[in-house]
Amino acid sequence: MTYRWLADLVLLLHFGVVLFIVGGLLMVVVGNLRGWRWVNQPWFRIAHVAAIGVVVAQSWWGQDCPLTTLESWLRVQAGTAPYGRSFVEHWVGRLLFYQAPFGVFVLAYSVFALLVLAAWWRFPPRWRGR
């Protein structure tokens, strides 16, 4: 039961990372249009660009996400098949995992990263000395 609970926790963490990456870009654009200063703080912008950078690098190198790998391992340790149907996984997993050719994901991640870089250029972080 502990492994299954940990697997659900990893799935929620994975969902949080996805929300941070997608929602972070939205917050940068909307926040700059509405005058929210926090969206240009270096800690937020660097964390955001680093997160999408890791995703893009993994997809270009053909690597699985370590959170997906960890979750699958935990589910096997729990005695269930990877991506078994617990309540949390059923609802959160349906939002995260969908079927498409691998190249579609590489392209989608790469285009999204370009949007993040465009937002970085259009709405640069506010460094303290400036």
| pLDDT score of 90 | 56
Residue 127 falls within a domain, yes or no?
Answer: no
Please give the model's pTM, rounded to 2 decimal places.
0.80
Q: Is the pLDDT of residue 87 over 50?
A: no
Confidence label for 35 from pLDDT (cuts 50, 70 and 90):
very high
Residue 128 falls within a domain, yes or no?
Answer: no
| pLDDT score of 80 | 82
Q: What is the mean pLDDT of residues 68-73?
A: 89
Residue 68 falls within a domain, yes or no?
Answer: yes
Which residues lie closer than 8 Å to 7 by C-beta, 6 or more apart? 71, 74, 75, 78, 86, 89
What counts of helices (H) and strands (E) characterise the chain? 5, 0
Token pair belonging to 91: 């609802």
Q: CB-based burial of residue 104 (10 Å sphere; 0-12 exposed, 13-18 middle, 19+ buried)?
A: exposed
Residue 78 falls within a domain, yes or no?
Answer: yes
Residue in 69, 64, 36, 58 with CA at minimum distance from that of residue 109 = 58
Give the integer Cα–Cα distance in Å for 11 and 17: 10
Highest mean pLDDT among 84-93, 100-109, 110-119: 110-119
Q: What is the mean pLDDT of residues 20-47?
A: 96
Query: What's the domain count of the chain?
Result: 1
Mean confidence (pLDDT) of the chain: 87
